[in-house]
Amino acid sequence: MEHSPRHASAPLETPTDHARRAADVIAERSGIAHHDLALVLGSGWGEAADLIGETVSEIPAAEVPGFHAPAVAGHVPVMRSIRLAGSERVALVLGSRTHLYEGRGVRAVAHGMRTAAATGATQVVLTNGCGGLNPEWVPGQVVLIRDHINLTATSPLEGATFVDLTDLYSQHLRDLAHEVDATLPEGVYVQFPGPHYETPAEVRMAGIIGGDLVGMSTTLEAIAAREAGMEVLGLSLMTNLAAGISPAPLSHTEVLEAGREAAPRIARLLADIVARMG
């Protein structure tokens, strides 16, 4: 009896393949063959894109493979290629990120970092808006991320992939940030899964285990960026005191308002830091 030949199934697309495909679309649509660094602009940080240089391309994020329109108010639905002022270096600016709580999976969360690396970026600046545990900090305080604690119970790494995170948040880049503003404090960022805010008990726990900041992003991206070989700088805008630290109830409106008030100042700060990177 003659049997029909079996056809081998097509190999599954790896995260790196997916990122390469997205990078090819960015290169084609932007006309920029190589990007040098990447920025992820979280809540309150969007104005920085206008200060770092000349925008040479804007692409709706949803038109690039693996990216989506932002799910959070205050994020920007386009990615931009910006030629840095006084330089030939080009930054890929991601105005939005995929959060783990959106339910798209951890690959989608890490996709922006893998794509940035595939465009050529060797450095990335990750920014966010977050809650703070230090009662001496007031809303609008920028804090350099020195280290993180990942409480999402997941990782962007797959298989037997072992990456050293000892110096994940670059001391070199933090030193550059301190050249711009020597008063910037440093802290440990704790990522919870979200989308609900943390309870007062969870915030107390975060402090006991060494945290200074709490939020719902950044750590998984930072790990993926390190795996991809990028140098990482993390900047948090403390938009509110975390639950139980402040007597006031938390709201996303409060986060957006604190971001709006701080925006001109932190945009200038970030632009001055980026000007020193290279």
Which positions are annotated as active-site residues?
198
Strands 90-94 and 186-191: unpaired
The three-state (H, E, C) secondary structure of 111-172, written as one string: HHHHHHHHCCCCEEEEEEEEEECCCCCCCCEEEEEEEEEECCCCCCCCCCCCCCCCCCECHH
Cis peptide before 195 (omega within 30 of 0): yes
Tell me the two tokens of residue 211.
């945290």
Q: Which amino acid is at 179?
A: E
Report CA 227 to chain centroid distance, whole Å: 15
